[in-house]
Structure 1
């Protein structure tokens, strides 16, 4: 199933900050405070910034105090042009970036974010803004999406590295600051996870997207990629993948998406479990909770060897003789050796009458597909060595259905082929033993 993405409007985090008025310092006046030494593992305390030039001070205040967003943009652009080395350059760029965001000018917003990173490579707001915007652009089908993926991962990784040193904005409570950091962590992890998914780096994809979904459990643009990352891993993490595919169906933005993704999740469940029994309960749990319950598990389908064992264990010789050719094939190709022996001992050297489809024919040998799966794949699973040369008038055509008799003498488990000798063509059904039609398939398995 193709990935379904939705583009979201930027709004999870308000990236614009309230302007901080700089201090105006008279020429020759000493700074009011000195920076304190930074302790290991701590963010650098914010320092009061001072503009010494009154004209520069007035230009900055005149720009940031504008109430009209377009007037603020004009004022900040003029300030940055006139004072490119101002102590308030980073603050002005942050405010300009937020103003372009508010005005809906995405390209100018991103251009300003790039300028801000040039001035401050670890600027959290710029990194978060670019991470979010690039991710939604890629998921929205941007024409240059493949070129954007490396940048997206770079911004996400850089943001996570810089986040521990992010200073609390002035006037922000501890609770609000913690919430802001968690939101930004979600943005950065989403960027890393989505970029990793696009490049098939599934360990990084599941790690990043799971962290992002933990922060945003109802965001379809994160929940569905997380399901894909689990299911496409090698080997697949089917338990988590099925759960989050179900969750994606729950939070999908339209009824059409909900139906499509629920069908996909159910198919994944059926493939893993062996049937759709129990799916209704699993989907009901996914509707009720954003995360799997403790000890959540889905019983996997029986392995081919387990299916083979179930076909012969506790069965009488007559029961085993009555199995279809496809069931014999499953036991002889995937069963444990004792189970293979139970079947082979009963049919080796015993004339069998069967029906199959001719794959290849010569006067002395016919290659035949006798199980439905092999008929569909046009793959011979029986080699019949004829007792006598086939007359030209009786030569079967390739693709024709054939009634025949032969005596099993050997088999190869993988790829499965049974060799029969003393082959004869049957022109009518014999009374005994009964022919074995190919109608049954081999039992399904992963």
Structure 2
């Protein structure tokens, strides 16, 4: 189960957490502003610079910028040209070259949040694309993204960036850094508890309205899935965050998440009754209220004890029901049912699981037959002749025995004085008046 959910949910991300369409906008929010006046004294350099920054076609802008950087590697406008180069490669949808340009920016400006953000965003995007075909590559990309995210979270304010601008940059980049670390915890480290803590920290730091759209909405879904992977699973939180993701998901994804959320809800609660109310509640709050609970489904013990409590005459219960109670109810209630059959002789229909001359092990209930596991043991009154021992897998007929004892773990009913009654064939006698004449 766990392997399936990692492959089908985490790897095939339902929403594009960082897409080519959204990344430039987010990067622009994270970009530092500078009021410094830059003067280029060399006319040829100035002309090349103007040529690079005025290109409108992404491919042409990238080519002109690369030419400028190779021709003037120590230029005072190198940082500005690198910024433009990043935008050009993003506009051309060349993720690999955009990440390379961002890495060159970090060599020049180690605390450049924009460059860190872009590298993390691209590695995470490429990891999502590699999930189905190359899990090892996916894991490595997420490792790289997590390592860069740690640097981004620890980055200090550059001297040329205003405090308020740096704060805005951190607000734009930190959630993506937290998300990348969480995904690395999931895929590379298989540390779901750490991933949950990271994702919750991300969502707590994200304005509520932004959690209703990607990329935060995708991480809400991932958080719900992560809760299902804990040992034991935390179904209450899992259902809440899956419902939260469903509430704001695009219409074409709602049925997919609905099916997933209801699967876990039914598995825990026993039915889907009440899920719609949780869906409506999750739409009003990112995190579940402190008193939020989901009633777990009745356990076999609950069911068995309830049958005893609500049945006025326990002797009227079917043999299969009595066996279920004997195996699952409290010892007190099991003994009450046992008193209705102890020392009574009854026919035991079932399938032979094991057989010797002195003992037959029989599967009586449908579950026992399906599992090919004996739930009744019949000790014979007298040893059976070899030819009378029933074959394993056969349905024995005429087997009777007296209920002698039972055990709850393993669930077993033991009978004594077992016998296989052979059906007597009727004897046909000649009718009166039709005797053979004498010679």
Which is worse superposed, 79-88 or 124-133? 79-88
Counterpart of 1:441? none
Q: Residue deviations 1:81-135, cap 9 Å, x none? A: 1233445544433331222102222221122223334444543222222222222
Q: Residue deviations 1:218-272, cap 9 Å, x none? A: 33533332221011111211011112223344444454x4334322322211221
Secondary structure class of the residue paired with 1:140: helix
Q: Residue deviations 1:129-174, cap 9 Å, x none? A: 2222222333334533432324424433543553464548989894
- The structure having more radius of gyration, on CA atoms, is 2
Counterpart of 2:134? 144
Which is worse superposed, 217-226 or 103-112? 217-226
Q: Counterparts of 1:159-174 in structure 2 under 5 Å?
A: 159-163=149-153, 165=155, 167=157, 174=164
The structure 1 residue matched to 2:417, chosen from 399, 419, 422, is: 422
| More helix by percentage | 2
Tell me the distance in 2 between the aligned counterparts of 1:398 and 1:81.
83
Secondary structure class of the residue paired with 1:409: strand
Q: Please say if residues 190 and 222 of structure 1, whose CA atoms lie closer than 8 Å, have aligned partners that are also in contact.
A: yes
Counterpart of 1:110? 99
Counterpart of 2:146? 156
Tell me the distance in 2 between the aligned counterparts of 1:207 and 1:313.
44
Q: Please say if residues 360 and 398 of structure 1, whose CA atoms lie closer than 8 Å, have aligned partners that are also in contact.
A: yes
Shift of 1:365: 2.0
Counterpart of 1:226? 223
Tell me the distance in 1 between the aligned counterparts of 2:108 and 2:341.
81
Which is worse superposed, 233-242 or 385-394? 385-394
Counterpart of 2:195? 205
Q: Please say if residues 127 and 137 of structure 2, whose CA atoms lie closer than 8 Å, have aligned partners that are also in contact.
A: no
TM-score, length-scaled by structure 1:
0.76
Tell me the distance in 2 between the aligned counterparts of 1:179 and 1:355.
76
Unaligned runs of 5+ in 2: 424-439
Q: In structure 2, do the counterparts of structure 1 residues 24 and 110 end up closer, same or farther at CA, with 3 Å as the change threshold?
A: closer
Q: Please say if residues 32 and 161 of structure 2, whose CA atoms lie closer than 8 Å, have aligned partners that are also in contact.
A: no
User: Is 1:73 matched with 2:85?
Assistant: no
Q: Counterparts of 1:272-421 in structure 2 under 5 Å?
A: 272-287=268-283, 290-293=286-289, 295-313=291-309, 315-316=311-312, 318-319=313-314, 321-391=315-385, 394-403=388-397, 404-421=399-416
Q: Tell me the matched-pair count.
A: 399
TM-score, length-scaled by structure 2:
0.77
Counterpart of 2:427? none
Secondary structure class of the residue paired with 1:14: helix
Counterpart of 1:189? 178
Tell me the distance in 2 between the aligned counterparts of 1:272 and 1:150.
35
Q: Please say if residues 357 and 389 of structure 2, whose CA atoms lie closer than 8 Å, have aligned partners that are also in contact.
A: yes
Shift of 1:378: 1.3
Secondary structure class of the residue paired with 2:243: helix
The structure 2 residue matched to 1:217, chosen from 205, 212, 219, is: 212
Tell me the distance in 2 between the aligned counterparts of 1:58 and 1:22.
20
The structure 1 residue matched to 2:82, chosen from 62, 75, 93, is: 93
The structure 1 residue matched to 2:237, chosen from 216, 233, 240, is: 240
Shift of 1:206: 1.6
Q: Please say if residues 217 and 223 of structure 1, whose CA atoms lie closer than 8 Å, have aligned partners that are also in contact.
A: no
Q: In structure 2, do the counterparts of structure 1 residues 81 and 273 end up closer, same or farther at CA, with 3 Å as the change threshold?
A: same
Counterpart of 1:131? 120
Unaligned runs of 5+ in 1: 26-50, 429-446
Tell me the distance in 2 between the aligned counterparts of 1:396 and 1:127.
75
Secondary structure class of the residue paired with 1:275: coil
Q: Counterparts of 1:236-275 in structure 2 under 5 Å?
A: 236-253=233-250, 255=252, 257-275=253-271
Tell me the distance in 1 between the aligned counterparts of 2:366 and 2:203.
44
Secondary structure class of the residue paired with 2:183: helix
Shift of 1:427: 6.3
Q: In structure 2, do the counterparts of structure 1 residues 301 and 88 end up closer, same or farther at CA, with 3 Å as the change threshold?
A: same
Q: Please say if residues 160 and 185 of structure 1, whose CA atoms lie closer than 8 Å, have aligned partners that are also in contact.
A: no
Q: Please say if residues 239 and 265 of structure 2, whose CA atoms lie closer than 8 Å, have aligned partners that are also in contact.
A: yes
Alignment RMSD: 3.5
